[in-house]
Amino acid sequence: MSLKSFFEPSSVAVIGASREPGKLGHEVFKNIIDAGYKGKIYPINPKAPDVLGVKCYPSIKDVPEEVELAVIIVPARFVPSVISDCGGKGVKAAVVISGGFGETGPAGAELERQLVEAARKAGIRVVGPNCQGVNSTSAGLCASWPLVKTKGPISVISQSGTVLAAIACWAEEEKVGVDKIVALGNKCDVDETELLDYFSNEPTTKVIALYIEGVRDGRKFFRVARAAAEKKPIVVLKSGKTAKGAKAVASHTRSLAGKDAIFDSVFKQVGIQRASSVEELYDFCKAFAGLPTPSGNNVAIITSSGGSGILALDASEELGMNVPDLPAEVRERLKEKLPPECILRNPLDLTGSATAQMYDETLNILNESGEIDAFVVIVGDPMPGISEVISKHVSRGRTIVPVMLGGGKAEAEEKTKLANAGIPLYSDPIRGVRALAACVRRAQWLASSNKFGNV
Amino acid sequence: MSLKSFFEPSSVAVIGASREPGKLGHEVFKNIIDAGYKGKIYPINPKAPDVLGVKCYPSIKDVPEEVELAVIIVPARFVPSVISDCGGKGVKAAVVISGGFGETGPAGAELERQLVEAARKAGIRVVGPNCQGVNSTSAGLCASWPLVKTKGPISVISQSGTVLAAIACWAEEEKVGVDKIVALGNKCDVDETELLDYFSNEPTTKVIALYIEGVRDGRKFFRVARAAAEKKPIVVLKSGKTAKGAKAVASHTRSLAGKDAIFDSVFKQVGIQRASSVEELYDFCKAFAGLPTPSGNNVAIITSSGGSGILALDASEELGMNVPDLPAEVRERLKEKLPPECILRNPLDLTGSATAQMYDETLNILNESGEIDAFVVIVGDPMPGISEVISKHVSRGRTIVPVMLGGGKAEAEEKTKLANAGIPLYSDPIRGVRALAACVRRAQWLASSNKFGNV
C-alpha cells in the first residue's frame, strides 16, 4: 500500500485530542488546525464535547464517516485496541505518537507486538510508535510539533524527533521550508527505506534529508538509496560512529549502528552525501534545494573580503575542488571593467570598494570564459543590490553559493531578498564551501554513474 | 608606548569626516557618535562647517586643544603629511583606515614607508593602514563599521575586517558583546603580537580571538602567546593552510603563511586553541567567556533527545573527551528522582517527558557524584524554566554547555534568559561539544603547564 494516506489524507482523527494546553494531545490537534489542514478533522476524547471548538467523539467508532488517517496520542496500553477500532472505520494509516512500547522493556515490547498485529489485521500502515509525528506542509497537516507551515523542497526522515524539528524550524526561519517530514520512532512498520523510496518519487520533494542511527535491512536500504540518488540528492547524518555511540544507539532505537567505515564507504558508492552535524545536514539540503547542479569542480571565489576569500580557498582545496588561476585574457577583460585596486586572481578580491555591479560584471566575464563551474560569492560588507545580481545569475543556471557576513543590520534586507528567491545563503565562508563541495561530489557521482551504468 | 590611546583616548579627531551618508568618513564618524563616545570629538574636513551637527575644523592643526587619537580616512597620498600635522597636536595614536598603500604595489609601498617615517618622527603609534579600524566598547568608541555597541568579554585581533565584523555582529546579536576589536590591515606598526600582549593584561578582556594569515616574527609571537595563554584563553583562526592559500596570503597581506603543520603544533604547545571556521572562532570564544574551566575531561550528556545525545556522545569521544558510564550508586540515586522512562546511562536521556526540574535533579546528583567534570545539556523540546536551572548550576562553578534545538518559537524566551545570564548557547549538539572540547584542551594544557613549569 502506498504511503500517500500519511501525507494527503482526506480526513484525520486525532485520538487523544485534549482541551488542556501543554498536553501533546492538545498541541498536535492545535497544530493541525493552525497549519490550515483542509480535510475533515475529528478530535476523539470520551471526556470532552469539543476541542478548540471542533465537535469531539468519544471513540473513533462514533465518527459518522470513514476516516483516512489516525493520529494516536493515548497511553500505550490502549493503542492496540484503538488500532483495531480504526480498522472498522476504514483508516488506512496511523501515526502513533505515544511512547511506552519497545523502548521501555519487555512489557512495552509485547504491547508493540500487539500493536503491529492489530494493524496488520486491519490493513493499517503505522508510523511510530514513540515518535514526534508527521508533517506534510502541502496538505497543511502538522501532526507534529512545533508548528511549522512553510512549504519547501526538503523532505526529512529522522530517527530523532529533535533533529527533525530542528531542520524544520531552521527551514521555516530562513523561508526555505519543508515538504514532508517523518519521525520514525520505533519504526514498527514504516521504515527509512520505504519512506526514501516514496519521497524519491514525490514531485514536491527536491532533496531528502535522513537522520539515522542504523538501518533495518542494509542491502535493501542501499539498493533503494542508489535508485533514489539517481533521481534526487540525498543527505544523511548518521550517529553511532564511535564504539560508545554504537552502544547508545542500541539502547535508543534498538538499531544496529554497524561499522561506521562500511556505512561511510557505501554512502559514497550509492551517491549519498554524508553530513557531520545537524547544521551541516541542513546546510547541504539548502544547497541542493536552491542551486543548479554544477558541471564540474572548477570553482571561482569572488569576494569583497580578502581574508574570507582565503578561508574559502583553503576549504575548497582541502575538499578536493579546484580553484584555478584565471587565464591572462580573462584577467585582461576583468581589468577593463574593474577598478585598479581589485586583485585579479582566484580568489578575486573586489576589496572594500566592491559594489553589486562589480560582482555582476565579474560573474559575466568569468562565466563567459567557460573555465568555471561554480562560484562562491562572499559579501563581507553591506552591499545594496547584491541579492538581485545573485538571483539573476542563478536563474540563468549558474551554481552560486552566496556567503554574507560582517555586514551588520544592513545585511538583513539583502538576506531576506535572497531567501525569497529561494537561494541558499551561508554566514560563514567555510560552511558555504562545504555545502558547495557536497553539490560537486554529487555531480561527479552522477557523471561516473551515467558513464559506468547503473550497477 | 602603551596602546592605551587607541582604546581609551580622552579625545578623537576623525580626519576625513564626511557629511555624505554611505561614505566611510561619514559612517565611521557617525558610529563613534552613535556608540556613545564620551570624550571630545573633532571632525576634520576643509569643506564642511560641521558634520552631524559637530563643529568641523579644516585641519587638525586648527583644533584648539590637544588630541589623543586620530582616525584617518583621507586618500593615501595625503596620509603622511596628515600624520605629521597630528604630531604637532600631541596625537599619540592613529588608526589609518585609508587603503592605497603597500597592498597596491611599489608606489603605495613608498607612501607606506613615508607614513611610517612621519609617525616615528612624531612619536605616533599606528594601526593600519588599509584596515577596518578599531572598536573599544567600554569607551563607546566605534571607530569602525558596522556599529557594534554591546560590551562584552571578547577582544579580537584580525587581519580581515570582515572576520572582525562578523564576530562583533554575532556577539552583538547574541548579547555576548565584545571588549576591544582591532583590524590589523597592513600592520605597518602595531601588530598581532603587541596587541596580544596588551589584551592579555586588560582586565575587561576575558578571551582573545585572533584571525591571522601569518605572523611577522614567529619566535616573538609564540613567546608572547605562551605567556598570554597562561593568563587567559586565546583562540586562533589561521588561513593559508593549503599551498594555494599560502600564495593568496602573500598577495593579501604580504604575510608568510608558513608551514601549516608547524603552526598547528606550536599553537598546541603554547596553549592556543585553533578554530576551523569563523563560526567556530566565535563558538570557542563564547564558551571560554561564559564557562568556568572544567577540572578534567569526564563529560556527562543530559538530554531530552536521544538522537542528539548520541551525536554529542560520538563527537565527545572523537574529540578525546571521556563519557564515562555512571556508577551503580549514582544510577540508584537518579532512579529515585526520575520517572521510569528515563534512560539512566551516559548520555542520560530524560526523554520527551523531561522537565526543567528533572534536569536540575540530574545535575545535582551527577555533580555530587564527583565523577563528572563538565556537562553537555541538550534541550530538544520547549522547556520552560531550563535557563534558570542552567544559570544556577553555572553560577556554582559547574561547566555546562547548553544546546537548544527543535523547540520552535517557545525556545526564544529561554534563549534570551540564558544570554542575559552570560551563558553561551549552541544550536547544534556537535558545535556545543566542539566548544567544550576546546575548554577541556585548555584545562589540560594549563594543568601540564603548571606541572612541568613555564618553559
Q: Please list every residue in chain B whose beta carbon sits closer than 8 Å to the beta carbon of residue A182.
A: none
Place of cell 583562540: B235
Q: Which of B162, B241, B382 is nearest residue A305 as measured by Cβ atoms? A: B162
Task: Locate the chain A residue with the closest alpha carbon to B282.
Answer: A428
Q: Which of A161, A244, A428 is nearest residue B313 as measured by Cβ atoms? A: A244
Cis peptide upstream of residue B340 (ω within 30 degrees of 0): no
Task: Please answer yes or no on whether B307 and A162 come within 8 Å at the CB atom.
Answer: yes
Q: Please list every residue in chain A whose beta carbon sits closer than 8 Å to the beta carbon of residue B162.
A: 304-305, 307-308, 378, 380-381, 405-406
Q: Please list every residue in chain B whose beta carbon sits closer than 8 Å to the beta carbon of residue A429.
A: 277-278
Size of interface A-B (CB pairs under 8 A): 230
Task: Report pLDDT digits (tens) over B210-233.
Answer: 999 988 889 999 999 999 999 999
Cis peptide upstream of residue B129 (ω within 30 degrees of 0): yes
In B354-413, the residues whose Cβ lies within 8 Å of chain A are 378, 380-382, 405-410
Task: Locate the chain B residue with the closest alpha carbon to A159.
Answer: B307
Task: Please answer yes or no on whether B278 and A159 come within 8 Å at the CB atom.
Answer: no
The pLDDT, as a whole number, for residue B253 is 67
Rg of the Cα atoms in chain B:
25
Task: Please answer yes or no on whether A405 and B147 come within 8 Å at the CB atom.
Answer: no
Question: What percentage of residues in chain B have a pLDDT greater than 90?
Answer: 88
Task: Please answer yes or no on whether A308 and B431 come within 8 Å at the CB atom.
Answer: no
Q: With CA atoms as reference, report the closest residue to B81 among B65, B66, B98.
A: B98
Q: Please list every residue in chain B whose beta carbon sits closer than 8 Å to the beta carbon of residue A183.
A: none
Cis peptide upstream of residue A129 (ω within 30 degrees of 0): yes
The pLDDT, as a whole number, for residue A257 is 67
The pLDDT, as a whole number, for residue A451 is 60
In B40-79, the residues whose Cβ lies within 8 Å of chain A are none
Q: Please list every residue in chain A whose beta carbon sits closer than 8 Å to the beta carbon of residue B348.
A: none
Count of C-beta atoms within a 10 Å radius of residue B395: 12
Mean of pLDDT values over B316-340: 96
Q: Please list every residue in chain A whose beta carbon sits closer than 8 Å to the beta carbon of residue B242.
A: 313-314, 317-318
The pLDDT, as a whole number, for residue A254 is 65
**One digit per residue, pLDDT tens: chain A, 455 residues?**
689 999 999 999 999 999 999 899 999 999 999 999 999 999 999 999 999 999 999 999 999 999 999 999 999 999 999 999 999 999 999 999 999 999 888 999 999 999 999 999 999 999 999 999 999 999 999 999 999 999 999 999 999 999 999 999 999 999 999 999 999 999 999 999 999 999 999 999 999 999 999 888 899 999 999 999 999 999 999 999 999 998 888 777 666 667 888 999 999 999 999 999 999 999 999 999 999 999 999 999 999 999 999 999 999 999 999 999 999 999 999 999 999 889 999 999 999 889 999 999 999 999 999 999 999 999 998 899 999 999 999 999 999 999 999 888 878 889 999 998 999 999 999 999 999 999 999 999 999 887 655 44
Task: Locate the chain A residue with the closest alpha carbon to B408.
Answer: A146
Query: A163 at the B interface (CB within 8 A)?
Result: yes
The pLDDT, as a whole number, for residue A19 is 97
Q: Residue B351 contacts by C-beta under 8 Å, 6 or more apart in sequence?
A: A99, B304, B306, B341, B342, B343
Assigned C-alpha cell, A386: 547584491
Task: Locate the chain A residue with the closest alpha carbon to B384.
Answer: A22
Cα B61-B63-B65 angle, rounded to 5 deg: 115
Q: Please list every residue in chain A whose beta carbon sits closer than 8 Å to the beta carbon of residue B159.
A: 307
> Which of B34, B104, B169, B244 should one mutate to test binding to chain A, selecting the residue with the greatest count of A CBs within 10 A?
B244
Coil/strand/helix, residue B299: strand
CA–CA distance, A38 with B83 (Å, rounded to integer)? 72
Q: Please list every residue in chain A whose beta carbon sits closer than 8 Å to the beta carbon of residue B323.
A: 244
Mean of pLDDT values over B418-425: 92
Task: Please answer yes or no on whether B308 and A160 come within 8 Å at the CB atom.
Answer: yes
- Chain B nearest-CA distance from A168, in A, is 8
Q: With CA atoms as reference, report the closest residue to B16 among B66, B68, B77.
A: B77
Q: Which of A317, A340, A408 is nearest residue B244 as measured by Cβ atoms? A: A317
Task: Please answer yes or no on whether B309 and A252 come within 8 Å at the CB atom.
Answer: yes
Task: Locate the chain A residue with the closest alpha carbon to B347.
Answer: A248
Task: Please answer yes or no on whether B405 and A276 come within 8 Å at the CB atom.
Answer: no
Sign, CA torsion B159/B162/B167/B169: positive
Q: Which of A252, A277, A341 is nearest residue B99 as measured by Cβ atoms? A: A341
Query: A344 at the B interface (CB within 8 A)?
Result: no
Distances (CA, A) of B85 to B39, B59, B214: 21, 8, 33
Task: Report pLDDT digits (tens) over B160-183.
Answer: 999 999 999 999 999 999 999 999
Query: A213 at the B interface (CB within 8 A)?
Result: yes
Task: Report pLDDT digits (tens) over B340-399.
Answer: 889 999 999 999 889 999 999 999 999 999 999 999 999 998 899 999 999 999 999 999
Q: Residue B447 contacts by C-beta under 8 Å, 6 or more apart in sequence?
A: none
Q: Residue A260 contacts by C-beta under 8 Å, 6 or more apart in sequence?
A: A238, A240, A241, A242, A246
The pLDDT, as a whole number, for residue A455 is 43
CB A299 within 8 A of CB A323: yes
The pLDDT, as a whole number, for residue B455 is 43
Which residues sit opposite B238 in a β-bridge? Answer: B212
Terminal CA-CA length for chain A: 28
Query: B255 at the A interface (CB within 8 A)?
Result: no
Q: Please list every residue in chain A whose beta carbon sits closer than 8 Å to the beta carbon of residue B304.
A: 162
Give the global pTM.
0.95
Beta strands A348-349; A374-379: pairing state: unpaired
Assigned C-alpha cell, B6: 587607541
Which residues sit opposite A238 in a β-bridge? Answer: A212
Assigned C-alpha cell, A282: 541542513
CA–CA distance, A311 with A430 (Å, rounded to integer)? 7
CA–CA distance, A229 with A241 (Å, rounded to integer)? 23
Q: Which of B240, B311, B340 is nearest residue A310 as measured by Cβ atoms? A: B240
Mean of pLDDT values over B206-211: 98
Q: Please list every residue in chain B whose beta carbon sits closer than 8 Å to the beta carbon of residue A309.
A: 248, 252
> Which of A149, A158, A174, A239 should one mutate to test binding to chain B, selecting the residue with the greatest count of B CBs within 10 A?
A239
The pLDDT, as a whole number, for residue A22 is 87
Enter the ipTM.
Answer: 0.94
Task: Please answer yes or no on whether A317 and B162 come within 8 Å at the CB atom.
Answer: no
Q: Please list every residue in chain B whose beta carbon sits closer than 8 Å to the beta carbon of residue A178.
A: none
Q: Which of A309, A317, A408 is nearest residue B147 as measured by Cβ atoms? A: A408
Q: Which of B244, B352, B407 is nearest residue A99 as measured by Cβ atoms? A: B352
- Chain B nearest-CA distance from A241, in A, is 6
pLDDT confidence tier of residue B451, bands split at 50, 70 and 90: low
Task: Please answer yes or no on whether A242 and B349 come within 8 Å at the CB atom.
Answer: no
Query: A162 at the B interface (CB within 8 A)?
Result: yes
Task: Please answer yes or no on whether B309 and A248 come within 8 Å at the CB atom.
Answer: yes
Query: B239 at the A interface (CB within 8 A)?
Result: yes
Q: What count of residues does chain B have?
A: 455
Q: Which of B164, B306, B345 is nearest residue A160 as measured by Cβ atoms? A: B306
> Which of A142, A187, A310, A428 should one mutate to test binding to chain B, selecting the residue with the greatest count of B CBs within 10 A?
A310
Q: Please list every residue in chain B whose beta carbon sits closer than 8 Å to the beta carbon of residue A313.
A: 239, 242, 244-245, 248
> Which of B310, B413, B427 should one mutate to test binding to chain A, selecting the residue with the greatest count of A CBs within 10 A?
B310
